[in-house]
Structure 1
Amino acid sequence: MDVSSEPEHAPPVTAPLVSPIAQLAYVFSEYSTTTGNAMSTKINAQARAHEAMGGRTYVVVSDRREHDYGEGTIVRYASSRSTRREWFTDLERRADAVCGVTLGRRPFVARFHRDALGAVPSDAEALVVYNYAGAVTDRLVQRFPGKVVLHLGNDVFRTWRPSEIRRVIERTHVTVTVSDYLAGTISDRLGFRPDNLHVLRNGVDSDSFRPSAREGGAPVTILSVGNVVPHKGVHHLIAAAHVLARRTRDFRVHVVGSAGLRPAEGLSTYEQELRRAAAPLGDLVRFTPFVDRRSLPAVYGQADVFAMPVQWQEPAGQVVTEAMASGLPVVSARSGGIPEYLGPDGVYADPRDATAFADVLQALVESPAERVCRGRALRTRAESLTWERNVGELMRLLAD
């Protein structure tokens, strides 16, 4: 995608509607407003759009979790896995990496998904598997009569040999990534781009996330939302706030999120370090732990600037599109697929350079007109990123 171009407008959906579709949520994850899991949010939005088009979506989930989203037909499965080992462990990942090199397959992740895959309704015409590429085995393709979609939101092939990657993509009807950046990493590892590898950009709910009127005269609120873990780079934002505070006090930093994807008691070591680093700034910085999906639009509505200080190659960033739809100017690292979404209307800086990051934040703090201009432009871009378009494009790929 040429990030200097204007956002594209969604073409009409002319491909036949594929229905029912089965969506496989992360094993043991909630299909709920109470999780920060981006995949659950995406499945819910796609199910809503698919149903609005007249389709039907099965959402395959564990019976050990609570699920409160109303969209989609929930299909629960019972797991044979011990409740003490509900997560895919680091040991299993390492063992799978060894098996991948020596055997060309990853038995532990396949076993991890066995119960969930066994619950997929037989009338499903397509099955969407998120990120866990090792679950897309020869056995799955032989047993499932419909079309298999591997949906990649992260760089899951870091420990994979090219031959492994090629085989798993060949098993799918289509493999989709959330950005050109992510598709490019796969093509680079393979040395070519598979014909069935496509980019399917995330959508955003521009009705729920929308611009809000802000009172004049109040300090400018710089918002950060997401998992509060080191690679998300909140410590860079705190460092920039120290620099900014020596120049102006007309701002506030609001960090929203926790280390995990759900409410938790206590703070991680990293969260404690952030609070110690921010303490000298007093009321210029505040922290709000996990916020559920229903409350998030109001959080964005109380902000003036959105900061994305990531220090890894973020493939897309759900919070980026939410900030765009909320009409906020976005200051971000030029990282991964983020520029594909922000385009020329984003503000880019290296968050590891505290002074440079503070410079661009200060420019927005001191210029209401610039904030409004960039926020409006990003809102326009977000309005083209509909979930209806996302699902319509998936229908077209499945019909090919």
Structure 2
Amino acid sequence: MNIAIISPGPFSVPPVKGSSVEHDIDEVTKMIDPEHKVTIYTRRCATYPKSTVEENREFIRFSYDGPGPYLRKIIKHIRKHKPDVILVENRPIYVLQLKRHFPKIPVFVNMHSHVYGSPGMISKEKMKRVVRLASGFITNSEFLRQHFIKSCKIPAEKIHAVHLGVDVSPYQVAKLHYTIKKLRKQVGLSPDDRVLFYAGRLMRGKGVHILIKAFHQVSKQDPRARLVIVGGTGYGSNRLNPYVRELKRLAKPLGDKVRFVNFVPSAQMPLYYQIGDVVATPSIWKEAFCRVNLEAMASSKPVISTTRGGIKEVVTHQGSGFLIPPKDWEKELPAVWELLWSAPYVRTEMGKQALLRAKQFSWYATAQGYLRVFENAVGKRQKEKLPLLKTG
């Protein structure tokens, strides 16, 4: 089967600046069985050549000067190299143009969150047309699948939940890395500090302000507690916007108990997770999946997260971590922190459970989930092409 995958366009694949959709494309396509040919259409950048071939993957890169010109270049290439199936990543609007040019090729949409299917990004009328024209949809959680069934009236049989994966190897190898002590010192941590760790973009939906407010209470009861916040306002961006200024104002009374670390490329993150003892993801928006939780668990770290979105499909409450509703963080985080440090075996056991849980989410399983969806569509198309046998 020849599979064409169209990345959104603003970032490159593999990602240079840590962008999550592009990271997922790279990881899942590495695991697609070698008998399938995968063509990945993505943005041209200085890091990579115009086109590259890696085993059964071919990267075709075009300049990105807006979605229209970008998609037109891809369509021109697809016309010469007709694939069996097309997967559009996180841009349902692209389906309308693609189906105009390739009405007989099955086109799927992989939705990574609710954002690009919402009225702010695509009109309800256009989204209805996408639902009608697309062969199907993939989501990274059952929560997101149910969201689109309700909000866009996508027939249940036409939308499939396939969880993302994680490769635990680099996170486990990083646990033994000789530079961990040096990195902790570089961040300003002492050997006996107890570190609560956040990784991700600094945006209101991620709830970083809730984390800092709750940490004020933790700090009162545990003078050894420290909070490390790793991330920028966007992928590769460390600009000071109003929200980041708000976070720094909230953290100021805590002095050096809160450390802000700028954006870290994803390749270095396995090492950075090691400087934390517990990882916090205080999301207040409807997180579709929250990959940070999976990476933290792959590092054997207990996770303190929220009950929002699809998070509970990944983190098991009182198993691999704790799930606290956003409104209860100030009240409940100190109690959870006390439990984790007054009974060290709880933290150790949760770390073990976290790793076991992370191992249940492999990129190979994700790839197989995608292939099952594609093979069903291609199989139906081939049956439709078969000539009717004359009888009598």
TM-score scaled by length of structure 1: 0.80
**C-alpha distance in 2 between matches for 1:204 and 1:54:** 23
Tell me the amino acid that sits aligned with residue 17 of structure 2.
Answer: T
**C-alpha distance in 2 between matches for 1:176 and 1:260:** 25
Deviation of 1:165 after TM superposition, in Å, equals 4.1
Alpha-carbon spacing, 1:331–1:36, altered in 2? closer, same or farther (3 Å):
same
Give CA deviations for 1:232-262 in whole Å, capped at 9, x if unaligned: 1111111111111111112211100000111
2:80 is the alignment partner of 1:74:
no
**C-alpha distance in 1 between matches for 2:298 and 2:145:** 25
Alpha-carbon spacing, 1:267–1:138, altered in 2? closer, same or farther (3 Å):
closer
Residues 38-57 of structure 1: matches in 2 within 5 Å? 38-50=20-32, 53-57=34-38
1:125 maps to 84
2:131 is the alignment partner of 1:169:
yes
Give CA deviations for 1:302-351 in whole Å, capped at 9, x if unaligned: 21111011111100011111112111111111010000111342301123
**C-alpha distance in 2 between matches for 1:161 and 1:189:** 13
Are the aligned partners of 2:139 and 2:162 in contact in 1 as well (CA < 8 Å)? yes
2:334 maps to 358
Are the aligned partners of 1:77 and 1:119 in contact in 2 as well (CA < 8 Å)? no
* Aligned counterpart for 1:291 among listed residues 251, 264, 271: 264
Residue-pair matches, total? 353
1:115 maps to 73
2:208 maps to 234
Structure 1: give runs of 5+ residues left out of the alignment.
Answer: 1-17, 87-108
Sequence identity percentage? 23
1:223 maps to 197
Deviation of 1:166 after TM superposition, in Å, equals 4.5
Task: Return the structure number with greater relative CO, CA threshold 8 A, min gap 6.
Answer: 1
2:192 is the alignment partner of 1:243:
no
**C-alpha distance in 2 between matches for 1:21 and 1:190:** 26
Structure 2: give runs of 5+ residues left out of the alignment.
Answer: 182-189, 377-392
1:158 maps to 118
**Coordinate RMSD, CA, aligned:** 2.7
**C-alpha distance in 2 between matches for 1:164 and 1:183:** 19
Alpha-carbon spacing, 1:67–1:205, altered in 2? closer, same or farther (3 Å):
farther
Are the aligned partners of 1:59 and 1:74 in contact in 2 as well (CA < 8 Å)? yes
Give CA deviations for 1:334-391 in whole Å, capped at 9, x if unaligned: 0100001113423011233312233223322433211121221121121121111111
* Secondary structure, counterpart of 2:221 in structure 1: coil
Tell me the amino acid that sits aligned with residue 157 of structure 1.
Answer: G
Give CA deviations for 1:108-163 in whole Å, capped at 9, x if unaligned: x6676333443346242222111211111165364265331200111133326776
Q: Find the structure with the greater CA-based Rg.
A: 2
* Secondary structure, counterpart of 1:210 in structure 2: helix
**C-alpha distance in 2 between matches for 1:170 and 1:191:** 10
**C-alpha distance in 1 between matches for 2:27 and 2:99:** 26
Are the aligned partners of 1:314 and 1:338 in contact in 2 as well (CA < 8 Å)? yes
2:385 maps to none
* Secondary structure, counterpart of 1:36 in structure 2: coil
**C-alpha distance in 1 between matches for 2:299 and 2:53:** 24
1:134 maps to 93
Alpha-carbon spacing, 1:67–1:350, altered in 2? closer, same or farther (3 Å):
farther
TM-score scaled by length of structure 2: 0.82
Alpha-carbon spacing, 1:34–1:64, altered in 2? closer, same or farther (3 Å):
closer
Alpha-carbon spacing, 1:195–1:167, altered in 2? closer, same or farther (3 Å):
farther
2:38 is the alignment partner of 1:62:
no
2:370 is the alignment partner of 1:394:
yes
Give CA deviations for 1:10-62 in whole Å, capped at 9, x if unaligned: xxxxxxxx3x3222112131224432211110011012112x64433222122
